[in-house]
Amino acid sequence: MLKAFFKTKEWALWAYAGLTLLIFSLWVQVQFTVAFNSWYGRFYNLLQASASYKDNPSEGITLFYDHLISLSYITNNFSGEASFVVLAFPYIVIAVFTSWFTSIYALRWRQAMTFNYIPRWRHVEVEIEGASQRIQEDCYRFAKIVESLGLQIVRSIMTLIAFIPILWGLSDKVDIPYLRDIEGSLVWVALIVSLGGLFISWFVGWYLPGLEYNNQKVEAAFRKDLVLGEDNKEYAQPEKLWELFLGIRFNYHRLFKHYSYFNAWMNTYDQFMIIVPYLIVGPGLFTGLIMLGTVTQVSNAFQRVHGGFALFLHNWTTITELRSIWRRLSEFEKNISLYENKNNQVSEKG
């Protein structure tokens, strides 16, 4: 699964140069998110101070539009403070490019895996269930998911490196009992709730990997009978198809039930996490310790840090799918290797 792409001369340039380019583009995006966080603080502080411009509203309106659409940062040789437009447009271009190149990269990985399997697969004497599906579908899904998760992990690490110092510094603005005396309290809260959420998710989603694996098996059996029925009318009989479909329906009902449990937990968790930073720093607004811009900065930085810590929590269903695909491809590779070893032994005896 990995060797076909990362350990062959044919694909070395794509594998490593392409990965380097993707990581660099993620790093640039993270730098933009840091700049956006700083912009949020300045902009919302301006909004909170809007009443102070009532005697000279034109000055306040000018500052308002400067924060949103001014190009002075560019015309001043990239000095001063960038407006939202100056930050947004390059971010969009980089994000679109990254998305496009990610898709191309996954396709190349799929190609490497597929044409590594096919010559070896032709020597297999006894097929395992859904062999063609494992080559045609599972290879692409594996490459796409592993690449996506891998890049998310890299991005999360970069985000944590960039935002933990910011959130640590903003923790000085906390003014509630117990937490005010803990250095970097916002970072510790983000870490604890993320680990707690992951621990609970592990139990709530305990049955999902096995159900996903079973789902692929019953779907493959149904698909195989339909394909055989295209050339041989002895297959794809209504009674047989109905029996196979009952297995699909039974497994899907179990899958939907357990996903419902998991989704109920995740939606509850996500909604609670929205208000956590406000619960912690919001009281400081009323004591005069902080301004609205600081609250917005804290909320944004907290969500970034929490998102980095909670990467596996928010990708739990994707990881569940990946575990199922990994299991299927591992079985497929073992079956191929079995007949490769047999053929090698026969060749040596000959």
Determine the pLDDT at residue 234. Answer: 78
At a CB cut-off of 8 Å and minimum separation 6, what does 58 contact? none
Tell me: pLDDT of 346 over 60: no
pLDDT of residue 121: 73
CATH of 3-349, one of 3.30.56.10, 1.10.3660.10, 1.20.1560.10, 3.90.79.10: 1.20.1560.10
CB 255 within 8 A of CB 215: yes
pLDDT above 70 for 339: no
- Model pLDDT for residues 125-137, shown as the tens digit of each residue: 666 666 677 777 7
Tell me the domain boundaries of the chain: 3-349
Percent of the chain with pLDDT over 70: 94
Residues 6 or more apart from 146 whose CB is under 8 A from it?
322
Judged against a pLDDT cut of 80, whether residue 192 lies above it is answered with: yes
Provide the pLDDT for residue 340: 67
User: Which of 236, 202, 240, 215 has the alpha carbon at shortest distance from 316?
Assistant: 202
CA distance 307 to 313: 9
Q: What is the mean pLDDT of the chain?
A: 86
Using the predicted structure, report yes or no on whether residue 117 has a pLDDT greater than 80: no
The confidence score (pLDDT) of residue 1 equals: 65
Q: Give the per-residue pLDDT at 61.
A: 92
Taking the mean position of all CA atoms in its chain, how far away is CA 112?
Answer: 23
Give the pLDDT confidence of 246-299 residue by residue, as tens digits: 999 999 999 999 989 999 999 999 899 999 999 999 888 888 888 888 889 999
- pLDDT value, residue 268: 93
Q: What is the pLDDT of residues 160-171, one digit of tens each?
A: 999 999 999 999
Residue with the bigger pLDDT between 151 and 339: it is 151
- Residue 225: predicted pLDDT: 82
pLDDT in tens, 81-98: 999 999 999 999 999 999
The DSSP output letter for 135 is: I
* 223 within 8 A of 162, measured Cβ to Cβ: no
